[in-house]
Amino acid sequence: MGRGDAATLAVALLLGLAGCTAPGGTDMTVQPSLRPQQQPRPSAAGTLPMGGEPSVDRVVAAAALRNPVTPSAASVDSGEKLFGIYCALCHGPRGQGDGPVAQKFMPPPDLTMKAIAERTDGYLYATIRNGGALMPGLGESLTPEERWDVVNFLRRLQRP
């Protein structure tokens, strides 16, 4: 091996060693992986971020929130459809606490009963958004307007 060859080999070895420690090499902590905490991924189509609207306590919402959606036939119809998809499994199609899941779970209250009919729209809205003691929040499934549509449908159930 001539001097030129030895020098080439030395350079190749150094480059090889450098390659092992360089970012993107074998060190897993510096691999170019996706780090959700640093690169929040955009939400999938059709899902809703809860952000943008501050979370509201039900008691605060009861007094503070006003229903901005007129209970038109279109709103009540939309609420009925959404209730069938998201609520009836527990609450039953007419809100009477007789959905199929209620038999496996704590039976939910009859939504047409007086105590619930007397709740304000804001309280019902916040219950739909955030859930209750046992009820799961449905804020990620329904847009604010859809939640008000469901409130408008509940009113129709309560005062037919």
Interface with ligand HEC, residue 76, by CB under 6 A: no
Quick one: which of 109, 144, 156, 158 contacts ligand HEC (CB under 6 A)? Answer: 109
Our CA angle for 104, 107, 110, nearest 5°, is 145
Tokens of 135: 């009820």
d(CA 150, CA 18): 62
Phi, psi angles (nearest 5°) of residue 39: -125, 75
Segment 2-61, which members bind ligand HEC (CB under 6 A)? none
Interface with ligand HEC, residue 101, by CB under 6 A: yes
| CA distance to 26, 118, 151, per residue, from 80 (Å) | 56, 20, 10
Quick one: which of 4, 134, 159, 160 contacts ligand HEC (CB under 6 A)? Answer: 134
Residue ranges in contact with ligand HEC by CB under 6 A = 86-87, 89-91, 101, 106, 108-109, 111, 116, 119, 124, 127-128, 132-136, 138, 150, 154
